[in-house]
Structure 1
């Protein structure tokens, strides 16, 4: 791997391939773009400085997502007063400003996004981390288990409970 030998261009290429997922992990764990930017920057620096420690036993994306999640959680812990999740939808997908007959109106989409943001922020940290890594980091159950230091069944349980809690919170907030 050329990046391990100090090739910054090679490092930029491999990290660039995972940019959107790493950003989504940082954004959805941190809860706001400013903290997510800090976490992302810390992630890139840590990955570059520790690239020699990457053993190749897991996929590079798993290793990078783990660094991102750890850095994002570190930022959240430092700034515990600001833990709302910024967006549950794809952060790279622009919000469409036009109304159409096929989907919810713009104001309804904003209300849904805000409700999801608030609902995610109410989940216990382990549940929120698991669901963000699964839905935004595209990590497998096994990868999340390794990241969280628990068994695969615990990950499945956390994801199930997180989804159940999100559904309950959303049911209370959204009109029928």
Structure 2
């Protein structure tokens, strides 16, 4: 019982002191501002790239292009629309790959989300990227066909398949000549 009496006595003395302090402080004006906020300041960094310039370092000449030719034996019916002309024929397809270097100038911006003010880091970076473009001969341009209602076209010679793929590559090279890097 002594403990309960002591605790009760202590609490009553504390309340008397608190009431006395409250009466002394009531004469003061108080402005209280409550601020709520959310922060995304997690210390993470964000990196973004912006392409400033891009050009092709160099392109090969059309004469330098080599084609890979694939031959396949096919059994064709009614070759070139001739009834009864059914036979095995060698058909060809050609592929040309052009490898080139692409030069890029990129602005890299790194931002960090922190509470302290921090300037973003910006740096201009030059880089070269290897690119490959592939051109295949289109059988629709072939010199022979098989079938009547559902015609399928084929190249019957290596040269025909190579020439078709080379023409496609040549057109692309002409289109890209405008974006070759100046020396």
> By the TM > 0.5 criterion, same fold?
no
Between Structure 1 and Structure 2, the one with more strand by share is: 2
TM superposition score normalised by structure 1: 0.24
Larger Rg: 2
Structure that is richer in helix per residue: 1
TM-score, normalised relative to structure 2: 0.23
